[in-house]
Chain A
Amino acid sequence: MTPEAVRKLLEQGLTSAGLASSGKGKRRISIELAAADVKEAVLAVLQGGRSRFVTIVAVDTGLDIELLYNFSVEGVLITLRTNVAKEASAIDTITPMAPGAEFIEKEISELFGIEFVGNARRTNLVLPDDWPTGKRPLRKPLVGDVFPQARASVENLWSGGTSIRVGPSSAVKREKAGLPRVPPLASAKGLQMQEVKDLLARTGFEKRAGFDRRTGKLRYK
């Protein structure tokens, strides 16, 4: 089975929207997908003939815990990659499809603080029984690429296109100076501001920095 055939097989088996795949070498396939699609993807891989679950690798990227689900399908290593936001820190277990994942999910849970919802194992595997619940040895604080002193400026840039906040006091000052309340900034024009935001996204900065579009702020203080 060629990697291309595996990819096709996976694509046929997966109906999840937004699935992206990329080949990495002749006998490796890496597929990035949303955390909500992992179960369905695992099911598709394991239904694909002579395939077996290998392991799960966890990486703390600062903002998220990246999980790499590895499978061997007729000698081809398939890696399903997903990011679990630290704020959520939970994902469905894959043990109904891959019972062998029980112990590695539990190990990741203990070391990185990710809950695998539905994993039945309760007793600690690698940490002492009296280990404090909130202390996860391999988990770093929630933080992105923006250093503390730059965070306010970055949030201002994302929300208003300026390094300092466009607030009511600046409007009052400008009015008193006989100027329009708002300078000719992108933030005064929706389409122009959207261009700035699109650039922040397309350079990858929005993701690296860890913006939360719902709040218009960084995911960390």
Chain B
Amino acid sequence: MNKQAFFLGCVIPLRFPGIEVAARRVFRQLGVECVDLDGYSCCPEPVVLGLTDRDMALAVSARNLALAEKAGADLIVLCNGCYETLAEADHAVRHDEPMKARVAELLASIGTRYEGKVTIKHFIEFLHDDVGLERIAEAITRPVDVPLALHYGCHLFRETTQRDTWRKPRMMKGLLEAMGARCVDYGLEQLCCGFPISQFDKDAALKERLLPKLRALSTTNAEALAFCCPACLNQFETGQGGVGELGVDVAKYPCVQVLELLAIALGMQPAELCLDFRSGSTKEFFECFWG
């Protein structure tokens, strides 16, 4: 088994460093040694950059994979978008011969290569399959005994080799339940957060995506909304303020990331999660239940 390296992405280390802190603590406490992927770049982000130029996106992505391969590491990816980009680039390089040749030529021009030896796992997948829910449940010292609604994020449904697109979303729910959370159904778990639409029409993103989800949530007893994707989390945290500006009166929810919850469940204090920079009531939520 290769060693493990975090693929932090852009959003977590630059906007939500508390999630990076939580990730490092969680994996260390569960006995998984993770190194940093030194010199990595944007995955690149699949919605805007990935659609801008496929050749460029694949080459930049393959360079990140080459870095991991050179370091003899497999990747644990902390972001849904990064996971999709890296997994698809890896799949293309392994299975698309013309693309493989093109990427090899481009990587050779900067003195590197990628031979497809890196295993890429979403952190949800790694925790579920490699660490195991039983081991996680045993390590928990402070169960997350709170009703939570889930937002999976579209890219969590992406699979490159399997047909079961619910594989990772089920894992996310299982992981939260292993922490002691009571997962609350609201019927719109699969609906997009609206981030891609917001790039073109911010109001439409709020009205057609965020608002229906908030209205559905308001019929439940959920105390917070749990995410694994930092882009979705950001869209919800900032978007809930935007919904207020639309003149719509709807309940707002704290937005929490799975790794933050797991860190708390493993004994970390809310004050260590760098919550001061978060929008909405996320800090209050953590302090109310675990402060």
Contacts and interface: CB of A to CB of B under 8 A. Distances in A.
Interface of A: 145-147, 149-150, 153-154, 156-157, 161-164, 166, 170, 173-174, 176-179, 183-189, 192-193, 195-196, 198-200, 202-205, 208-209
Given A150-B48, A157-B41, A185-B40, A177 B21 contact: yes
B48 A199 contact: no
Contacts of A200: 56, 60
Q: Which of A176, A177, A187 has the most CB of B within 10 A?
A: A177
Interface in B55-70: 55-56, 59-60, 63
Interface residues of B, number: 39
Q: Which of B18, B38, B52, B277 has the most CB of A within 10 A?
A: B52
B42 interface: yes
Nearest to A156: B42
A202 B109 contact: yes
Contacts, number: 126
B56 A189 contact: no
B88 interface: no
Given A149-B200, A154-B49, A164-B10, A173 B17 contact: yes
A149 B109 CA distance: 30
B14 A186 contact: no
Contacts of A157: 41-42, 44, 49, 60
Contacts of B53: 145, 203, 205, 208-209
A116 B60 CA distance: 41
Contacts of A166: 14
Nearest to B277: A173
Interface string B197-208: 001100000000
Contacts of B10: 162-164
Nearest to A208: B53
Contacts of A174: 13, 17
Given A183-B13, A183-B14, A186-B39, A203 B106 contact: yes
Contacts of B200: 149
Interface in B40-91: 40-42, 44-45, 48-49, 51-53, 55-56, 59-60, 63
B14 A170 contact: yes
A179 B276 CA distance: 15
B118 interface: no
Given A162-B42, A183-B8, A177 B14 contact: no
B274 interface: yes
